[in-house]
Chains A and B, each alone.
Chain A
Amino acid sequence: DTEVTQTPKHLVMGMTNKKSLKCEQHMGHRAMYWYKQKAKKPPELMFVYSYEKLSINESVPSRFSPECPNSSLLNLHLHALQPEDSALYLCASSPRLVVDTQYFGPGTRLTVL
């Protein structure tokens, strides 16, 4: 089973709202990732967690706040977003952090009004 699940599938929010994206995997993977993808572009790395600790933060604005409550779950908390933050947000996981294959979830399509 190589499944990463993400909820919700679609999210529409105003600039003053607070919302969260959720990601879950039950493959025993110890590295989890958040990516942002704009239309017709490749995914851009936002955050990396390794063994539930934040390993990489690719200079992402503080209005995006990641959280890894346990080894299976990854959240992305959203607050005071801008319309340009509208994108497909992808979660991925891999067995370990170094030289390992990343498996992606189906994504959350976020629209900020």
Chain B
Amino acid sequence: GQQLNQSPQSMFIQEGEDVSMNCTSSSIFNTWLWYKQDPGEGPVLLIALYKAGELTSNGRLTAQFGITRKDSFLNISASIPSDVGIYFCAGQPPMNYGGSQGNLIFGKGTKLSVKP
């Protein structure tokens, strides 16, 4: 089945730093979604991308749908302590690429922590 490679697995941030993470695949996707999850809570949607090349911002967050449809990145500018958590990318593959209706493929997550 299709897989998403999300990197980095974890990173430490200092307040005020910019953060970047990405997801890549060997296959194409129709939709890219970015979620943030705090411990014991459900994932919260940050940004949804529907078209190749699309660049979308949500406050300090910016995400792009790669032009090849095989990748996406998420940038966080001027990080603050509440940015700590786990970020998941998720993509929906086309039906003729092994996707089934409603099936999201998730990356393994990027854990953001505060530098000690």
Interface residues, chain A, with chain B CB atoms under 8 Å away: 2, 4, 6, 31, 33, 40-43, 45, 48, 50, 55-56, 88, 90, 94, 97-107, 109
Contact = CB atoms under 8 A, between A and B. Distances in A.
A109 B39 CA distance: 11
Interface in B27-66: 30-31, 33, 35, 40-45, 48, 50
A48 B101 contact: yes
A104 B44 contact: yes
B93 to A, nearest CB: 10
B106 interface: yes
A48 B102 contact: yes
Interface of B: 30-31, 33, 35, 40-45, 48, 50, 88, 90, 92, 95, 100-104, 106-109
Contact of A101 (B41, B45, B109): B45
B101 A42 contact: no
Contacts of B103: 45, 48, 56
B101 A56 contact: yes
Contacts of B35: 104
A99 B50 contact: yes
B25 to A, nearest CB: 14
A99 B35 CA distance: 16
